[in-house]
Amino acid sequence: MKRLSSSKRVVSNEVKGDIEWELRPGGMLVQKRNMADAASAPMIKIKVSHGSYHRDIAVPAQSTFGDLKRVLAQETGLEPKEQRLLFQGKEKDDEECLHMVGVKDLSKVVLLEDPASKERKLVEMNSNQSVLKACEEVAKVRSEVDKLSEKVIAVEANVRAGTKVAENEFLVLTELLMVQLLQLDTIEADGEAKVQRRVEVRRVQGLVDTLDHLKARNSNPFSSSCNAVPTSTKWEAFELSSTRITQDWEVFD
């Protein structure tokens, strides 16, 4: 039989008569496994242990550890690449056949989750919890802004009806809105929470600008300039990633 170099990494097949061979990892030349034969092979039960999880898994006797991983993926939710299978204290490669390493009916196999996968899931879980917490904080601000928005609408109705509104009412509402804007600035958000926060920031800015316009109209209802939409609040540098908010405020007497 032709000798194959152990340094050769690609799987090669040789046909000798009616027998087809394949090169397994490690340089071992074995008869190629026929998938149809494997599926029709006798079934064996393997006792799989994974932490507190213990279950008998039925697979064809000539299955590989890779085949076993695919079955376990359906049972445990762990993707095959996230699994490590140990038999008799040694981790097995996906290409190794169960029967060739001594796995028989009722043999015990230990399933471990790959540490890198476990760490990645932990990071994702912590990230999801952070996003959820940020969304809850934004929701609290949104609730307060809803109440203030109703008051702004009421003030606007009075101004448009020609009813004089006390100057202090504009000042108080503006200050309360800015408190919510500062509260939004303290929220560390990513993903969906960041989107929600940005929406609320623009909403608060819009309400403050509306109050500025209404205040000007309330002070001089007959001025032609009141038909425009002046704004004394300048949103030149509101960076949510920092704690700086630069604003030019109109001086209230």
Q: Which two tokens stand for residue 142?
A: 């949104």
Q: Buried (b) or exposed (e) across 33-43, using 16+ Cβ within 10 A?
A: beeeebeebee
Neighbours of 183 (CB within 10 A): 17
The predicted structure's pLDDT at residue 245: 39
* CA trace torsion 135, 140, 145, 146 (10° rounding): 100
Q: pLDDT per residue over 98-157, tens digit each?
A: 999 999 999 999 999 888 777 777 777 877 888 889 899 999 999 999 999 999 999 999
Q: Which two tokens stand for residue 52?
A: 């507190």
* All structural domains of the chain: 18-117 (3.10.20.90), 138-246 (1.20.58.120)
* Whole-number Å distance between alpha carbons of 214 and 230: 9
Find the helix packing angle between 115-160 and 191-219, rounded to 10°: 10
The predicted structure's pLDDT at residue 42: 87
The residue written with tokens 């097995």 in the block is 92
The predicted structure's pLDDT at residue 125: 80
**Residue 190: which of 239, 134, 120 has the closest Cα?**
134
Please state the pTM of the whole predicted model: 0.47
The predicted structure's pLDDT at residue 114: 82
Strand order of the β-sheet with 90-91 is: 53-60, 43-50, 108-113, 83-87, 90-91
Q: Which two tokens stand for residue 120?
A: 């990645």
Alpha helices per DSSP H over 99-190: 115-160, 167-185
> Which residues sit opposite 238 in a β-bridge?
245
Q: Which two tokens stand for residue 175?
A: 């200050």
Q: Is 77 left (phi over 0), alpha (psi -120 to 50) or beta?
A: left
Q: How high is the mean pLDDT of the chain?
A: 77
Residue 84 host element (H or E): strand 83-87
Q: What are the 10-residue block averages of pLDDT along the chain, 253 residues in total?
A: 42 46 52 54 88 87 92 88 91 92 92 82 80 91 94 93 90 94 90 91 94 90 51 44 38 35
